[in-house]
Amino acid sequence: MSTFLEVKNLHVTFPTEDGAVLASNNVSYSVALGETLAIVGESGSGKSVANLAVMGLHNPHRTQISGEAILHLPEGPIDVLSAAPETVRRLRGKAMSMIFQDPMSALHPFYTIGNQIAEAWALYNEGSKEDGIKRAVEMLDLVGIPDAAKRVHEYPHQFSGGMRQRVMIAMALVNNPSLLIADEPTTALDVTVQSQILRLLADLQKEFNMAVILITHDLGVVAEVADRVSVMYSGRIVESAAIDEIFYNSTHPYTRGLLNSIPRVDNHGKGTRLRAIPGQPPSLISVPKGCAFAARCEFISHVPGGLCIASNPDLLEKAPDHYSRCHLTGAQVIDIAAKNLAHQDNGAK
Amino acid sequence: MAENILELHDLKKHFPTTSGGLFSRRKGVVKAVDGVSLSIGVGETVGLVGESGCGKTTAGRTVMKLYEPTDGKIIFQGEDISHYSRKQMMPFRSQMQMIFQDPFASLNPRHTVGTIVGASYDIHGIKPAGGVENAVRDLLERVGLNPEHINRFPHEFSGGQRQRIGIARAIALRPKLIVADEPVSALDVSIQAQVVNLLDDLQQEFGLSYLFVAHDLSVVQHISDRVVVMYLGKVMESAPTESLFAKPRHPYTKALLSAVPIPDPRLERTRERILLQGDLPSPMNPPAGCVFNTRCWKVQDKCRSVVPEPVQIAPNHTLACHFPE
């Protein structure tokens, strides 16, 4: 697989009255054609902000962006962060596309579905309006909208939530982009519709050999579709690895905390207590000097000399292709977690 | 269970829809809740689940008498309150409280936390021993907030903390029943678990009963003793949590469970999914016969014409399906 997008040392800062908000702090990630990278984090972790920067969708007057985001196009690599806005505009929709959480506010209520898809098509293709509508019908067919030839003339309000998200996907893919960034694409949908949309995205990815970045907070969705995962906390990537490594061999206390705190439908019933992570994430204005997760971390007592409070750990390769931002070694985290679990089981008995 | 705190018998709530304009005429009805029966024992948690538009929120609000029921009975502690007036409801209000989904919209932004949580004492003319302020401080501490923050305003708190304020308000008068409408769905994953644990603790401490309305089946599975599955205003299946999740009998329950992703990639790769086709039909114009027939993979002619009645198939387990699993 060839790498398509490479983000290096991305910083995104919003100056505000209360001080600068460092929403994305030295973030690096990459995704290859045909691969799905999931970026996981809670609200305010910076997962959307970083990807909006890649798409060139931040207001340049109110945002400071530094770093690199290189698209490896067939005609040569290009850094979209330093490229002219006009160049980036011509890549949007063609080389890279994005779909959003709320398909209602992303569609224009006054125009028919067909017009909106045809408009996106006409940006990069020569042809009459009829050609555009014809292409829109093809796309609606592709994303599984029944009776596409008729529904292409309908308005967004005539579609259900799941159908609107299909329309958004059709619009995003109308020019065969190599990269699709999906920002919480199923969060607003019901579970039965969610599984339809995830299945559709996976099928289309295979068909067009797309690189997909899935931004989500739902670890169940991640388990279903991702090849690799980057976990973000407080503007930084804290762990990054192949999917099974993240779920079964995590070397970061925050990732472990998240996995422990979610109830599972296939698990024991009532009476067990959820292992919640205490406290809440720090403000992005006064980022702690040390590890951002230190105040909530249950592993902190295993690190000597207040190191976690004093210095922020680097993102280091703890196992082959498994990066983690923690003062403990990977083996230490795994070992302590196993002991904690055994201790808890004894307590339960 | 000695006595049921709440019983619903064939509860219905229909909303008329009008043509709009000056001389609006009735066009039809939306049968948001169309014959829901359930009971909640003392200290029990009943989960009410379903997809958006299935009527679960309307059912919860009708229980609270925020809506006047169209038909059916609401029995609270043995008393039929279905058609009580506002005035008649007053003594019951202190015994049944509600927690809302959106911790931003459900707290008055111009009032301090002290006023918000203490309001119920004034409304019901109750003078807690030691004064209202002390009572509010105790409540804040009980839900895990700093009692020193009593004079702060809602915007000074995070989403999770605001939900705790809503919970403090709900338990102020020591109610017997709490209707919790999606209480954790607006919260981040790590905060969700904190609030779920808090609800658990409060139930133990005060012997509360919960009607837990939610769409997230993993949370419902965790917190509920029994689960009621709704679809288009009707109850499809209702059973003790363990048997419902281990062996769902209604095709809809089965499909719903199989659609929930499990945070376990190895399991996900081998798990078989039932992929439902299409969307929820409009509640304005529900299908004839079984309301699920348009999406059910086991559908037969009978399902399109005959409404399946809820049948008890085991203790506490009812099912409305012609061809169960």
Q: Are A193 and A201 in contact (CB under 8 A)?
A: no
CB B117 within 8 A of CB B172: yes
The pLDDT tens digits of the residues spanning A107-153 come to: 999 999 999 999 999 999 999 999 999 999 999 999 999 899 999 99
Domain ranges of chain B: 4-16+29-95+175-319, 117-174
pLDDT given at position A268: 58
Question: For A2-57, how does the pLDDT look when each residue is reduced to its tens digit (9 = 90+)?
Answer: 999 999 999 999 998 888 999 999 999 999 999 999 999 998 899 999 999 999 99
Minimal Cα–Cα distance from A195 to chain B, Å? 6
Q: Residue A110 has which token pair?
A: 């006054």
CA distance B164 to chain A (A): 13
Contact state of A223 with B191 under an 8 Å Cβ cutoff: no
3-state class (DSSP) for residue A247: helix
Contact across the interface for B242 and A269, Cβ inside 8 Å = yes
Interface test with A, best of B146, B264, B294 (most A CBs within 10 A): B264
Query: What pLDDT score does B102 carry?
Result: 86
Q: Which pLDDT does position A224 carry in this prediction? A: 94
Residues A301, A304, A309, A313, CA torsion sign: negative
Give the pLDDT confidence score for residue B181 in this predicted structure. Answer: 95
For residue B200, the chain A residues in CB contact (below 8 A) are 273
Torsion of CA A224, A229, A231, A232, to 10 degrees: -110
- Residue-range domain boundaries for chain A: 3-233, 249-348
Point out the residues of chain B with pLDDT beneath 50: 1
Q: Give me the half-sphere count of Cα atoms (radius 13 Å) on the Cβ side of residue A60.
A: 7
CATH of domain B4-16+29-95+175-319: 3.40.50.300
Report the SS3 class of residue B39: strand
Separation of alpha carbons B6 and B44, rounded Å: 10
Token pair belonging to A221 = 């969705």
The token duo for A335 is 């070992």
Contacts of B194 in chain A (CB under 8 A): 276-278
Residue of A nearest to B258 (CA): A192
pLDDT at A269: 53
pLDDT of residue A349: 47
Q: Judge whether B171 and A252 are in contact, CB under 8 Å.
A: no
Query: Which of B261, B262, B275 has its CB closest to that of A196?
Result: B275
Q: What percent of chain B has pLDDT over 70?
A: 98
Pairing mode, strands A236-242 and A322-324: antiparallel
Decide yes or no: CATH 3.40.50.300 for domain A3-233. yes
Residue-wise over A17-31: b if at least 16 C-beta within 10 A, else e? eeeebbbbbbbbbbb
- Residues with Cβ within 8 Å of A155's Cβ and at least 6 positions away in sequence, in order, are A109, A110, A111, A112, A113
Contact yes or no for B264 and A223 at CB 8 A: yes
Helices A330-348 & A253-261 angle (0-180, nearest 10): 30
Note the ipTM here: 0.86
Pick from A190, A223, A274: CB nearest B193: A274
A253 close to A326: Cβ distance less than 8 angstroms:
yes
Q: Do A196 and B276 touch (CB under 8 A)?
A: yes
For the stretch B184-227, pLDDT in tens is 988 888 899 999 999 999 999 999 999 999 999 999 999 999 99
Residue type at A45 in one-letter notation: S
Chain A environment of B192 (Cβ under 8 Å): 261-262
First-to-final CA distance of chain B = 29
pLDDT in tens, B108-132: 999 999 999 999 999 999 999 899 9
The CA distances from residue B119 to B101, B111, B134, in Å, are 20, 10, 13
* Residue segments in chain A with a per-residue pLDDT below the cut of 70: 1, 268-271, 345-349
- Mapped onto helix, strand or coil, the DSSP state of residue B173 is coil
Of A191, A258, A273, the CB nearest to B197: A273
pTM, two decimals, is 0.91
Q: How far apart are CA A294 and CA B49, in angstroms?
A: 37
Which residue, among B161, B178, B160, B182, has the nearest Cα to B170 in the 3D structure? B178
Spatial CA neighbour of B46 closest among B68, B33, B63: B63
